[in-house]
Amino acid sequence: MQFCPICDNALFIKRKGKAKVLQCPSCGNKIPFNEEHKRFYTISTVIEHGPKDMTHIAEETTGPAVTEDDRELLDEDEFEYQED
Ligand SMILES: [Zn+2]
Protein backbone atom coordinates (compact mmCIF):
# COMPACT_ATOMS: atom_id res chain seq x y z
CA MET A 1 0.00 0.00 0.00
CA GLN A 2 1.25 3.42 -0.93
CA PHE A 3 0.30 6.65 0.81
CA CYS A 4 -0.39 10.11 -0.48
CA PRO A 5 2.66 12.37 -0.04
CA ILE A 6 0.33 15.31 0.53
CA CYS A 7 -2.28 14.06 3.01
CA ASP A 8 -1.10 10.53 3.98
CA ASN A 9 -4.28 8.78 2.86
CA ALA A 10 -4.00 5.33 1.30
CA LEU A 11 -3.71 5.52 -2.48
CA PHE A 12 -5.91 3.39 -4.70
CA ILE A 13 -5.09 2.02 -8.11
CA LYS A 14 -7.01 3.73 -10.89
CA ARG A 15 -7.01 2.43 -14.42
CA LYS A 16 -6.44 5.19 -16.91
CA GLY A 17 -6.76 3.69 -20.37
CA LYS A 18 -3.84 1.28 -20.67
CA ALA A 19 -1.90 2.96 -17.90
CA LYS A 20 -2.56 2.87 -14.19
CA VAL A 21 -2.16 5.61 -11.64
CA LEU A 22 -2.31 5.71 -7.87
CA GLN A 23 -4.95 8.19 -6.84
CA CYS A 24 -5.67 9.68 -3.45
CA PRO A 25 -9.40 9.47 -2.61
CA SER A 26 -9.09 12.45 -0.30
CA CYS A 27 -7.24 15.16 -2.22
CA GLY A 28 -7.25 13.64 -5.72
CA ASN A 29 -3.46 13.62 -5.97
CA LYS A 30 -2.25 11.20 -8.65
CA ILE A 31 1.13 9.56 -9.01
CA PRO A 32 2.20 7.25 -11.85
CA PHE A 33 1.85 3.55 -11.06
CA ASN A 34 5.21 1.90 -11.67
CA GLU A 35 6.73 -1.57 -11.27
CA GLU A 36 7.79 -0.86 -7.70
CA HIS A 37 4.21 -0.03 -6.74
CA LYS A 38 3.01 -3.16 -8.50
CA ARG A 39 5.19 -5.35 -6.30
CA PHE A 40 3.96 -3.50 -3.22
CA TYR A 41 0.29 -3.97 -4.05
CA THR A 42 0.74 -7.58 -5.18
CA ILE A 43 2.37 -8.53 -1.87
CA SER A 44 -0.31 -6.87 0.27
CA THR A 45 -3.06 -8.54 -1.76
CA VAL A 46 -1.51 -11.98 -1.28
CA ILE A 47 -1.19 -11.52 2.48
CA GLU A 48 -4.74 -10.23 2.92
CA HIS A 49 -6.57 -12.61 0.62
CA GLY A 50 -4.37 -15.73 0.33
CA PRO A 51 -4.68 -17.99 3.39
CA LYS A 52 -2.46 -20.61 1.73
CA ASP A 53 0.27 -18.06 1.19
CA MET A 54 -0.10 -16.87 4.78
CA THR A 55 0.46 -20.42 6.02
CA HIS A 56 3.51 -20.67 3.81
CA ILE A 57 4.93 -17.44 5.25
CA ALA A 58 4.21 -18.62 8.81
CA GLU A 59 6.02 -21.90 8.16
CA GLU A 60 9.04 -20.04 6.86
CA THR A 61 9.29 -17.82 9.94
CA THR A 62 8.97 -20.58 12.58
CA GLY A 63 12.57 -21.63 11.96
CA PRO A 64 13.94 -25.16 12.49
CA ALA A 65 11.35 -27.68 13.62
CA VAL A 66 11.57 -28.82 17.24
CA THR A 67 10.90 -32.54 17.62
CA GLU A 68 9.08 -34.10 20.58
CA ASP A 69 12.42 -35.44 21.87
CA ASP A 70 13.90 -31.96 21.79
CA ARG A 71 10.97 -30.61 23.77
CA GLU A 72 11.40 -33.31 26.45
CA LEU A 73 15.08 -32.45 26.77
CA LEU A 74 14.27 -28.77 27.10
CA ASP A 75 11.66 -29.47 29.78
CA GLU A 76 14.10 -31.68 31.71
CA ASP A 77 16.78 -28.99 31.71
CA GLU A 78 14.31 -26.48 32.96
CA PHE A 79 13.12 -28.80 35.77
CA GLU A 80 16.66 -29.52 36.94
CA TYR A 81 17.48 -25.85 36.98
CA GLN A 82 14.47 -25.14 39.16
CA GLU A 83 15.50 -27.84 41.64
CA ASP A 84 18.89 -26.21 42.13
ZN1 LIG B 1 -3.98 13.07 -0.72
Residue 59 backbone phi and psi in degrees, to 5:
-65, -35
- Min mean pLDDT across 8-12, 65-69, 77-81 is at 77-81
Is the full-model pTM beyond 0.85?
no
CA of 28 to the centre of ligand 1 (A): 6
Question: For residue 12, what are the β-bridge partners?
Answer: 23
Contact 9, 24 (CB under 8 A): yes
Say if CB 26 and CB 7 are below 8 A apart: yes
Distance from Cα 9 to the centre of ligand 1, integer Å: 6
In this prediction, residue 10 carries a pLDDT of 95
Q: What pLDDT sits at residue 11?
A: 94
Q: Inter-axis angle of helices 35-49 and 51-61, to 10 degrees?
A: 90
pLDDT, tens digit, 9 for 90 and up, residues 32-78? 998 888 887 776 555 555 556 555 555 555 556 667 666 665 555 55
